A and B are shown apart, each in its own frame.
Chain A
């Protein structure tokens, strides 16, 4: 039995007066892939953004309750958000490389976090991150070309390389394949499977099949509530809750 990496307890989120999440409690294990599924507007991305305090950027957003990462409370004014975010990488729906070279995209994080002492160190981190993201062989001869010159799938893997360059422990993925074709999607899914050995991954996805393929645990959200959470194999073959069943079989959305 692996340990809890993230432990959420009674998390409420309000956007102004509108409540978006209702008392979410969740236990996310270390080095597992957890998929968050549910119809649009159900709160899954909101919950994902609580984990690295991205909701701080939205002025009207208020988060209460408790989220512990490695047993440390992060919903607190005392939390060092910068160091929290260095521990938690994030990959978004649309690949968003910086308007810089491929090399600089990956080098940016380690440089600003002061993780490197020398140019050689930096090169080593950039190369190994690109390798871990399964991109190195495709770009090794053109590291100085702009990141935006890559294909969509390559850009997304560049963003994953950028996320892992700062040596995080957790990677949050918000629909990372929704803008990609099936082949690029398959490559990312294969990558997620490899990354799971070293990272705790939480992925928001609208594709049931993707959740079934890549995750070990699945959490189903509906109207801001966590309806069911369980082993992915169980959720997709024999869920306990009728709402889960109706959603994953395409009976409501």
Chain B
């Protein structure tokens, strides 16, 4: 649905600011993840400390945006597409903040890792992280373009992330079984891969929110794919 400007111009400006702030928030968490992966690659504990500190910047941006969203709700009492946009922005902001936390977690584990992390799974995690970062960047693009189809495309990208997650999980289990001395190191990596998997899920949430904001319909009614299980249930 093509949108004209509001009669009240300042309302347009406020919505534009909200959108810009979401994009800024997206860039912040994208960088946070990029830095965390770099610091994992370099095993740079000093850099890790800086990244951990940087999480405050994300939290602050989250709070500021959250406050302006509450204000716009109170002041404008948005309707229809505006209502859906603001409502989605509230959720997207929250999910981005959580993504920031998960990205920071990776740096936290690098900061305390006094042990040598096995090369192969570390590399795989860095590659998986790069893919997750593409998802973040794409979902922010979908928000900026206000495109339900672009959002759906990003949503589907998570399937690949879940596959990677399972692959690395198996790899780490094998490492641990082969050499129990590696358990501590592998556990650190296990947490990291889980962080990335969770980020993928949050990006999916964001994609669903964008889809709803644009179309007014849920992306999926009920379980999108009941046959798919990233985490296989234990056999009874």
Contacts and interface: CB of A to CB of B under 8 A. Distances in A.
B225 to A, nearest CB: 25
A6 to B, nearest CB: 26
B4 interface: yes
A16 interface: no
Given A245-B1, A249-B82, A238 B7 contact: no
Interface of B: 1-8, 11, 76-84, 216-217
B81 to A, nearest CB: 6
Given A237-B216, A242-B1, A242-B2, A249 B81 contact: yes
Contacts of B217: 238
Given A251-B7, A253-B7, A238 B2 contact: no
A209, A239, A244: which has the most chain B beta carbons within 10 Å? Answer: A239
A242 B216 CA distance: 13
Contacts of A246: 3-4
Given A236-B80, A238-B216, 14 more contacts: A208-B77, A209-B77, A236-B79, A236-B83, A237-B79, A237-B84, A239-B80, A245-B80, A246-B3, A248-B79, A250-B7, A250-B8, A251-B6, A251-B7
B190 to A, nearest CB: 42
Given A208-B79, A237-B216, A238-B216, A249 B6 contact: yes
Interface of A: 208-209, 212, 235-239, 242, 244-246, 248-253
A209 B7 CA distance: 17
B182 to A, nearest CB: 53
Contacts of A239: 80
A248 B77 contact: no
Contacts of B7: 250-253
A250 B2 CA distance: 14
Nearest to A241: B1
A25 to B, nearest CB: 24
A251 B12 CA distance: 10
A244 B1 CA distance: 11
Contacts of A244: 80
Contacts of B84: 237-238
A216 B15 CA distance: 29
Contacts of A245: 1, 80-81
Contacts of B2: 242
A12 B111 CA distance: 76
Contacts, number: 48
Contacts of A251: 3-7
23 contacts: A208-B77, A209-B77, A212-B79, A236-B80, A236-B83, A237-B84, A238-B80, A239-B80, A242-B2, A245-B80, A245-B81, A246-B3, A246-B4, A248-B80, A249-B78, A249-B82, A250-B6, A250-B8, A250-B79, A251-B3, A251-B6, A252-B7, A253-B7
Nearest to A248: B79
B8 A249 contact: no
| Best-surrounded residue of A236, A244, A250 (most CB of chain B within 10 A) | A250
Contacts of B79: 208, 212, 236-237, 248-250
A208 B217 CA distance: 22
B114 to A, nearest CB: 54
Contacts of B216: 237-238
Contacts of B76: 250
Nearest to A250: B6
Contacts of B82: 249
Nearest to A246: B4
Contacts of A208: 77, 79
B12 to A, nearest CB: 9
A14 B76 CA distance: 37
A237 to B, nearest CB: 6
Contacts of B1: 242, 245
Contacts of A212: 79
Give 6 closest A-B pairs by Cβ, nearest first: A238-B216, A248-B79, A251-B4, A249-B82, A250-B6, A245-B80
A237 B80 contact: yes
A156 B77 CA distance: 26
A212 B83 CA distance: 13
